[in-house]
Amino acid sequence: MNKSGFIHSVESFGTVDGPGIRFVVFFQGCPMRCLYCHNPDTWHMADGQQTTVEEILSQFRKNKAFYQKGGITATGGEPLLQLDFLTALFEAAKAEKVHTCLDTSGITFRPEDAALTARFDRLMAATDLIMLDLKQVIPERHQALTGQSNENILAFARYAAEKDKKLWIRHVVVPGWTDDEESLTALGRFMAQLKTVKALDVLPYHTLGVHKYQQMGMDYLLEGVQPLEQKDAEWARSVILQAYREYKQTT
């Protein structure tokens, strides 16, 4: 088990990355290229800081008293890109009775790969909660939005539910990309097929990360797309939940 890996940074007092106050570890590296990504500085593994499980836990322990109702959240980037390092971190955390939360898209899952699935099984055994980022359920729209197929992402969602892992769904509503009723309804219906969904966060698109693209000399491909108003995010959430409830009633 790999006990060292690459991280981007840590946040000592996270309040939006799982229940309670969290110690948030931002993993370096991500295969997704979401058009609205606000952390392009996490894309490339080589840009990260090499660290060990013990170094992370040492930082966590300094403020452990504040995390009694919280725990450790792994986010990114994409934590699953460093599966063994992530598993080692969560296993070490569970050995100290620390709540573990994984914020992921599930992109690296391969249901046809038995050896890889066995490694995922080991991670799941040390994971208390999964915050699952579902970008877009409709396949061709997901490909255009993220540069990746969503086939393995949806397979991971089903796998996690079958492993009885609590799922906290996160969805960003992007004007012109994920804010139409067809996309929102499709998401609600898919969620209804997952027996362990416990919560839904519908997040409005924002432009807070645009300055990073400027600093890195990169083009921001959603230039001109305006931030979504909270009322529109609330409407999107109502559409998702209506589709969720209607699907549940018919199955």
The per-residue pLDDT for range 231-244, each reduced to its tens digit, is 999 999 999 999 99
pLDDT for the residue numbered 151: 98
Label the pairing between strands 129-133 and 100-104: parallel
Q: How far apart are CA 33 and CA 79, in angstroms?
A: 15
Which among 144, 240, 234 has a CA at the least distance from the CA of 194? Answer: 240
The residue segments making up the domain with residue 53 are 4-250
CA torsion, ordered 160, 44, 57, 103, to nearest 10 deg: -30
**Model confidence at 84, in pLDDT bands (50, 70, 90)?**
very high
**Model confidence at 54, in pLDDT bands (50, 70, 90)?**
very high
The pLDDT tens digits for 140-175 are: 999 999 999 999 999 999 999 999 999 999 999 999
Number of domains observed in the structure of the chain: 1
Beta bridge partners of 100: 72
Alpha helix segments (H runs only) across the chain: 53-62, 83-95, 114-125, 139-146, 151-162, 181-191, 210-215, 230-250
Cβ count near 218 (within 10 Å): 12
Q: For the domain that residue 60 is a member of, what is the CATH number? A: 3.20.20.70
Q: Mean per-residue pLDDT for 95-123? A: 98
